[in-house]
Structure 1
Amino acid sequence: MAGLLVPPYGVMESTCGSDRLPDKENISNNAFVPLSKHPNKKSLIESPAKPHPKCTSQTPSEKILHAGKVLRNAILSKAPHMIRDRKFHLKTYRQCCVGTELVDWQMQQSSCVHSRLQAVGMWQVLLEEGVLNHVEQEMSFQDKYLFYRFLDDEREDAPVPSEEEKRESQEELQETLLFLSQIGPDAHLRMILRKPYGSTAALTKAKQKHRGDSFCVSFRPPERAADDMEIIYEELLNIKALSHLSTTVKRELAGVLIFESHAKAGTVLFNQGDEGTSWYIILKGSVNVVIYGKGVVCTLHEGDDFGKLALVNDAPRAASIVLREDNCHFLRVDKEDFNRILRDVEANTVRLEEHGQDVLVLEKTLGSARNSADGSSAVHYKYRVMSGTPEKILEHLLKMMRLDSQFTESDSALDDFVLMHCVFIPNSQLCSLLRAHYHAQASQGSEQEKLDYALNNKRRVICMIMKWAAVHDDQLQQEDVAFLQEFLISVSNDATWLPALWGSADRAGRSCKALVCKHLHKVFLRQFSLGEEKPQKRQPIRATDEILFKVYCCDHTYTTIRVPVAASVQEVISAVADKLGSAEELNLVHLSSAGEKTIFKPNDVSVFSTLSINGRLFACRRDQLDSLTPLSEQEGPSSGSLASFELMSSKDVAYHLTSYDWELFHCVHELELIYHTFGRQHINKTSVNLDLFLRRFNEIQFWVITEICLCSQISKRVQLLKKFIKTAAHCKDYKNLNAFFAIIMGLSNPAVSRLSQTWEKLPSKFKKCYGEFENLMDPSRNHRSYRLIFSKLEPPVIPFMPLLIKGDKDYVL
């Protein structure tokens, strides 16, 4: 439903391709951890085909080579029996390990290895680089009774690690496993994409051609296994270029994507004017888009795509694509598969047109099987809303709503509409539409049929309104409450001549009356006044609640105003002008502790909650802006709180942080995320509870920085570092990821990280612990490290809120 109002063909539109050129460089926001490099390997288009023999000239990267040495030495140190001569079918294989034993050993060594599939990907990294080899030169690592040999054991005189090397390997083991766990998923994906499927005879569609000194080979996989398809699909969810595609299209792509890699920068993928044969997605690296006579017009990076428009329009390539760096990886969809997916999407699309325009677009999908009266199972199809006008979407959802108790599963489309409707249709308009649907009457049929239609129609609208009221709850405005009161009267009146409506009327009456009574009481707040004590029990702040707040003048005098939380800037200025008795045109300004000034727009709402930690509101004329100076209280503390901080254990600190953070997070309504994402000034809604929770992250981060920087003694700073690292570990144990990342980001701030003498005196075990925590902030592959940790946690969890705002929606209330 997030794409309800997307054009009908939006499921296959490109964001940026070589055939539709942007006028500036498109730079990905995600950093990327470099993968293995093959400097001497020929450019190769690899797809699910028979594995290619390993290139003997392949040179492992230094970091992967060192990782292999660390793992080999660690095994020889703690489990030397794993590397030994083995016999199979009367043949002896020297100094081998078994795949299942390697996976078992790796999972026992570190908490960062969460599954056997993850361990397989980590070993695959070594296999791709030639640091680990299958005895029969197979290119895929498997969790089976198969023999693998480390590179050092390939020689007759394999070196035996000394005691010093064994000790060093044990010290470096955790860091090495963490490094491999970060790049392992990419290697696992490449392994799956290269994997052969079906018989060799089935791999009939081979293409071969030369590109300069590059030799390209590709094969079409007949069919992928379901487990592999699911892994590929999960990876596609994190690719920017595919974010707008439907689930059905992504699952189709998972079955046809082909992996393609090129070793050397300067390789021409295709030339301007060539026939369009494939659509490309950049998995790793970057490419230049070149047009004759113009040169390089833009650069595309990881997550971008190109080449789609030539397939859609069946036109020649509009530009040339040239590799910008070595070792680039791509996902490729060939024209035949691309067109088939388009045809399948169109064949399963139902369109409703009015006046030549699509007003509702539905996608036909396979639903759950239903048992018929004779016990047989019948295939059931569902129609999912893809796009449409708000009015037609609402009409469709009401029509498809099931009232019988046999099918009680939640309708995700209905849930999404109730939650997201404010983006494209305001509450006032929705209430009018629901009122019209409630009073709608059948125009034809018998009297009984008309009566049945009216009854079922009213029950559906009552169900919809109850769901809408329950979801919006604290976010309802006075006019929404008035609508509920009016609606209850209508339902009660209708129940007198429709006795079958009494059950629905009673449930609606009890639910809505509770909401009405709740909203008749306004709460008076003082929570935005910095430095005040925390209330005994924090309640969600509503837009209708009122607040006392100080607004300062140029001479640092202030006036205290009382306004609603959701007051606009214009309303705040009017309140200030009334208190000051001023007729001058005033501006509302946010002044930070550093003296930075931000002038609010008249239609901005709930500006109190958007202030920085030490920010203050000033009201002044425009010609007085230059004279504004921060208050003395904005400068912050001059001494730390080390004395009192030392009295508390790190576990107690983490516990109290988590307790307070949970109260803040529990007050955040999911609607506030929508208001924040789409701009509350456009929707005219407040996200004050979310603002307070986001500010909490900054408070913890700057608290860490302030305490360490205000401590003058190195020995005391070392103790502070240890305490904060332990506190972060306990926050992670308490599943408070917001405070955990706030502390780690505070420690990684340049003001702290530059204290080299302090960090040198930090014990090695704390350095390793901090290093592991810091690696969890790795932003590559859409913050894969964080998402992997999050997926293993059972709710309730306090998420890393800045990342949630950025776009990762997997959070738990």
Structure 2
Amino acid sequence: MHVDSSKFFLIQLCAFSPLYRPLERSSEDVDIIFTRLKEVKAFEKFHPNLLHQICLCGYYENLEKGITLFRQGDIGTNWYAVLAGSLDVKVSETSSHQDAVTICTLGIGTAFGESILDNTPRHATIVTRESSELLRIEQKDFKALWEKYRQYMAGLLAPPYGTPLIEPHVPLRPANTITKSERAVRYMTATRRSPLPAAPPWARPRGKGEESHRLAATWPSCPTPSFVSGKRAGRQRCPQLTLAPMFPVVDQEHHFQDKYLFYRFLDDEHEDAPLPTEEEKKECDEELQDTMLLLSQMGPDAHMRMVLRKPPGQRTMDDLEIIYEELLHIKALSHLSTTVKRELAAVLIFESHAKGGTVLFNQGEEGTSWYIILKGSVNVVIYGKGVVCTLHEGDDFGKLALVNDAPRAASIVLREDNCHFLRVDKEDFNRILRDVEANTVRLKEHDQDVLVLEKVPAGNRASNQGNSQPQQKYTVMSGTPEKILEHFLETIRLEPALNEATDSVLNDFVMMHCVFMPNTQLCPALVAQYPFVPSQGTEQEKMDYALNNKRRVIRLVLQWAAMYGDILQEDDVAMAFLEEFYVSVSDDARMLAALKEQLPELEKILLLLLFLQHKVLLQQFNTGDERAQKRQPIRGSDEVLFKVYCLDHTYTTIRVPVAASVKEVLSAVADKLGSGEGLIIVKMSSGGEKVVLKPNDVSVFTTLTINGRLFACPREQFDSLVEELCKGGMSSPDLPHPPALSDLSLFTLELIYHTFGRHHFKKTTANLDLFLRRFNEIQFWVVTEICLCSQPSKRVQLLKKFIKIAAHCKEYKNLNSFFAIVMGLSNVAVSRLALTWERMIANTARTVRYCRSQPFNPDAAQANKNHQDVRSYVRQLNVIDNQRTLSQMSHRLEPRRP
């Protein structure tokens, strides 16, 4: 696994801008667009020739939320595909937008608008649900594509409008495409026919009682590292075969469970099953490593499906946790609370259908279930209108009939073969809905919900004083920012014994407020809350409440300033608020003695922020100067020196702020080169992957891969860029590595910026980017060192050392480095070195047990090692991050067995 933060964000297809007309596109532009479109879900099944024509005639559109593309009854003029965002499909009985009902939502990868082929009116209104990116093709161009590429498009587009419940004319996948079940058969064959010494331990002959079963297998209890990395991995691989089904239990009584049951391949059920020839054995032996790797990748998904096939009453706590973790990633459930998701995990039923065209339910039938699509797609069909939209993986349907206790508003037809669903039956759905409403508290103002709270178990133990904590607490589900702030202030407990619980609640709010309440909104709200006096009660009660409220606001401000630290120095609104707030508290402290104990801490934080000087110059290349390596976070205003390369791999060094945009980088490069007309900035990895950066991208130097480079070149020379191949032992990776990368507290907030999109906050995530890159650097350092070691005995010693280092990292709570080393050892270039692993299995077990039993002592003297040498080595790790190069080196060390 190679962590690449740039993969988390959709690359906009700027070349499709309406200002950049198709007739003006050069062949290089079309190639760039083609490369980008191949990565978009909507076009992953399109034939290359068809996709190339779309690149010539398509328009890119970026629409804000609430934009209506067309209305029901309009004559269509364009076909669309969703690249990013989502759109609502609305249908009205009277063709009036006022009584239109949303019947489904179109997500990424959805295509719609085929009615332009026969000029029939639109059967629904399409409105953007959020800011969305679309590919648009005009009617004349789309008709031309249909006439020329009908054989490719027939199975990829929704059936024609006005013909409900149509059976698909052309399979969604070409006949020669291997589906998952066919691949599983192929894996089974490779494993079954492999020579016994090479076969995994779980796939060797076993005996049961007095009867010997040919190739009866158990799940791996002692696998070799080159095949199986652990019990759980082995247990996950076998379900992939049993679900086919082609790996039945010998006694025919159980599904796959564990090592106490025997299994055999389906072909061996027949007594006359032919034995493989020598040629087939040789061919399967060559495929065995790839087979086990692919089974490892498919295993978790198969394990999940196996758990879901269990009746709800037979699911263990581990099973429920597996299902819950899967539900966290389903788009249709993202708005539900944790409590609801855990209840759903206990009642969800797995349902699968093999054939496209199957009708799940018909319009007008009674609603009995709610469905979520795990795999595949379905068409939503309305009588008299035909297919109104298509739903894909992650979408849900069928909920409206259950909520309103009304007949189904549409029919659902499978659009492709082998579709998987999660189903919630009506009884369970209604019970969960009742529980949710019973545990929900709503605060309304002017008939609008301004605060919605959900009651959940508190999970607190009895306090030291013997007074038990409340067994229930309320979590915020939604609300206006002001009401959420008011609620959190009310929950702050001022008693010293409850500080720990209060700090936890405050941390949640302080860390996440930037998502829904930025500082420009938070600071005025705190100013309004500080002098707040209730309108009811006696004078003494009003004074007590006002005093406690002031203390709560001060407590929140102190925790807020402590968490954000010097980040607030860049925020003029926050600094002005802190100064004004300090003056107000100082004035009140003269009359209210209870405020005096909090005043010194507030004064200390303010002075630190006012007089702290933070100016750092970072360097992309290592100069050996350790004085620049200070333990402090990188800020957007810091400056960085880094290299921008030209086509011939010469470079120019520029100095810009960390948060500089690509446009600013181009300006600096143009000043150095003397000319910048028509230049673009390209990010290229050591594997040759090229990405053209957009002008508004920021903090570009931190998003580079380990041995990646930035290139400045004319657009027409984009295809001429080639990577510089890695040589022998590699030189220094020339990457910035401040020691601050090991301190998680340096990017607590950057993780939030990254999760919700840093473009929403206009903040840099430089520290997090470098932390992720350091993870990759350690991971590939392990693989590089092992693949560069040509002597088997030294490789064995090297493996032992890496395992010891990983054990120390775990003991010392350095989990980032621990997981990086473990993933490096799991890399296919290392795990395939069977001869090396076989020589050190026993020793490794003893070493690991010893390391786990002995606490790590960071102060222990190091024999024969200079501390400065160790620091310099760690700071300048030699790394090859090109997986192709590493695999070639691995095969040179241990070629495939004859």
- How high is the TM-score relative to the length of structure 2? 0.57
- CA distance 1:488–1:114, shift in 2 (3 Å): farther
Query: What does residue 425 of structure 2 align with?
Result: 334
Query: What does residue 635 of structure 2 align with?
Result: 542
* Greater RCO, CA 8 A, separation 6+: 1
Q: What is the CA deviation profile of residues 336-372 of structure 1, one whole-angstrom value per residue up to 9, with x for unaligned ones? A: 3222222221221111111221111101112225659
- Secondary structure of the 1:20 match is strand
Cα distance in structure 2, aligned partners of 1:107 and 1:763: 16
Cα deviation for residue 331 of structure 1 reads 1.3
- CA distance 1:617–1:690, shift in 2 (3 Å): farther
Query: What does residue 562 of structure 2 align with?
Result: 470
1:499 and 2:593 correspond: yes
Aligned residues: 647
Cα distance in structure 1, aligned partners of 2:822 and 2:259: 38
Give the aligned residue type for 2:751.
L
- CA distance 1:534–1:63, shift in 2 (3 Å): farther
Cα distance in structure 1, aligned partners of 2:88 and 2:333: 9
- Secondary structure of the 1:409 match is helix
Q: What is the CA deviation profile of residues 382-427 of structure 1, one whole-angstrom value per residue up to 9, with x for unaligned ones? A: 1100011111101100101123233313665532331232233221
Query: What does residue 362 of structure 1 align with?
Result: 453
Cα distance in structure 1, aligned partners of 2:313 and 2:262: 28
Cα deviation for residue 113 of structure 1 reads 5.5
1:425 and 2:517 correspond: yes
Cα distance in structure 1, aligned partners of 2:308 and 2:691: 51
Give the aligned residue type for 1:84.
K
Give the aligned residue type for 2:252.
Q
Query: What does residue 397 of structure 1 align with?
Result: 488
Query: What does residue 140 of structure 1 align with?
Result: 255
- Secondary structure of the 2:104 match is coil
Cα distance in structure 2, aligned partners of 1:522 and 1:252: 49
Which of 74, 77, 102 pairs up with 2:218?
102
- Secondary structure of the 2:597 match is helix
Cα distance in structure 2, aligned partners of 1:173 and 1:254: 36
Q: How does 1:39-188 map to 2 (within 5 A)?
A: 61-67=185-191, 82-85=206-209, 94-95=211-212, 102-103=218-219, 105-110=220-225, 119-143=234-258, 145-146=260-261, 148=263, 151=266, 154=269, 177-188=292-303
Cα distance in structure 1, aligned partners of 2:293 and 2:683: 40
Query: What does residue 608 of structure 2 align with?
Result: 514
Greater shift in the superposed pair: 388-397 or 491-500: 491-500
Q: What is the CA deviation profile of residues 241-281 of structure 1, one whole-angstrom value per residue up to 9, with x for unaligned ones? A: 32332111111111211121222233222234433322222
Cα distance in structure 1, aligned partners of 2:390 and 2:410: 12
Q: CA RMSD in A?
A: 6.2
Cα deviation for residue 523 of structure 1 reads 0.6
Query: What does residue 461 of structure 1 align with?
Result: 553
Q: How does 1:657-672 map to 2 (within 5 A)?
A: 660=737, 663-664=740-741, 666=743, 669-672=747-750
Cα distance in structure 2, aligned partners of 1:490 and 1:399: 21
Which of 507, 514, 522 pairs up with 1:415?
507
Cα distance in structure 1, aligned partners of 2:200 and 2:748: 52
- CA distance 1:16–1:275, shift in 2 (3 Å): farther
**Alpha carbons 1:107, 1:114 under 8 Å: kept:** no
Give the aligned residue type for 2:581.
F
**Alpha carbons 2:779, 2:821 under 8 Å: kept:** no
Q: What is the CA deviation profile of residues 141-167 of structure 1, one whole-angstrom value per residue up to 9, with x for unaligned ones? A: 334755655557656789999999999
Query: What does residue 528 of structure 2 align with?
Result: 436
- CA distance 1:69–1:133, shift in 2 (3 Å): farther
- How high is the TM-score relative to the length of structure 1? 0.62
Give the aligned residue type for 2:358.
T
Cα distance in structure 1, aligned partners of 2:553 and 2:319: 44
- Secondary structure of the 2:600 match is helix
**Alpha carbons 1:543, 1:565 under 8 Å: kept:** yes
Cα distance in structure 1, aligned partners of 2:740 and 2:644: 28
Cα distance in structure 1, aligned partners of 2:821 and 2:683: 26
Query: What does residue 600 of structure 1 align with?
Result: 695
Q: How does 1:693-772 map to 2 (within 5 A)?
A: 765=833
Cα distance in structure 2, aligned partners of 1:297 and 1:767: 59
Cα distance in structure 1, aligned partners of 2:387 and 2:633: 53
Query: What does residue 35 of structure 1 align with?
Result: none
Which of 11, 16, 20 pairs up with 2:104?
20
- CA distance 1:670–1:164, shift in 2 (3 Å): same
Cα deviation for residue 473 of structure 1 reads 1.7
Give the aligned residue type for 2:550.
K
Q: What is the CA deviation profile of residues 212-241 of structure 1, one whole-angstrom value per residue up to 9, with x for unaligned ones? A: xxxxxxxxx567544432332223223333
Give the aligned residue type for 1:543.
G
Cα deviation for residue 513 of structure 1 reads 3.6
Query: What does residue 10 of structure 2 align with?
Result: none
**Alpha carbons 2:778, 2:817 under 8 Å: kept:** no
**Alpha carbons 1:258, 1:333 under 8 Å: kept:** yes
**Alpha carbons 2:640, 2:656 under 8 Å: kept:** yes
Query: What does residue 642 of structure 1 align with?
Result: 728
Give the aligned residue type for 1:344.
D
Cα deviation for residue 67 of structure 1 reads 3.3
Query: What does residue 479 of structure 2 align with?
Result: 388
- Secondary structure of the 2:497 match is coil
**Alpha carbons 1:573, 1:587 under 8 Å: kept:** no
- CA distance 1:159–1:85, shift in 2 (3 Å): farther
- CA distance 1:170–1:681, shift in 2 (3 Å): closer
**Alpha carbons 1:152, 1:158 under 8 Å: kept:** yes
Cα deviation for residue 466 of structure 1 reads 2.0
The share of aligned pairs that are identical, in percent, is 53
Q: What is the CA deviation profile of residues 687-737 of structure 1, one whole-angstrom value per residue up to 9, with x for unaligned ones? A: 343455677899999999xx9xxxxxxxx9998xxx99x999999976559
Cα distance in structure 2, aligned partners of 1:524 and 1:731: 34
Cα distance in structure 1, aligned partners of 2:265 and 2:432: 43
Q: What is the CA deviation profile of residues 485-515 of structure 1, one whole-angstrom value per residue up to 9, with x for unaligned ones? A: 4434443443343333343333444444434
**Alpha carbons 1:259, 1:330 under 8 Å: kept:** yes
Cα distance in structure 2, aligned partners of 1:14 and 1:381: 39
**Alpha carbons 2:753, 2:761 under 8 Å: kept:** yes
- Structure 2: runs of 5+ lacking an equivalent: 1-85, 91-101, 112-181, 646-650, 807-815, 838-855, 857-874, 876-880, 882-898
Give the aligned residue type for 2:306.
M
Give the aligned residue type for 1:239.
I
- Structure 1: runs of 5+ lacking an equivalent: 1-12, 28-57, 87-93, 197-220, 553-557, 581-585, 619-624, 646-652, 708-715, 749-758, 770-793, 803-813
Give the aligned residue type for 1:188.
H
Cα distance in structure 2, aligned partners of 1:572 and 1:149: 62
**Alpha carbons 1:697, 1:739 under 8 Å: kept:** yes
Q: How does 1:681-692 map to 2 (within 5 A)?
A: 682-690=760-768
- Secondary structure of the 1:133 match is coil
- CA distance 1:493–1:674, shift in 2 (3 Å): same
Query: What does residue 753 of structure 2 align with?
Result: 675
- CA distance 1:607–1:147, shift in 2 (3 Å): closer
- Secondary structure of the 1:106 match is coil
Query: What does residue 54 of structure 1 align with?
Result: none
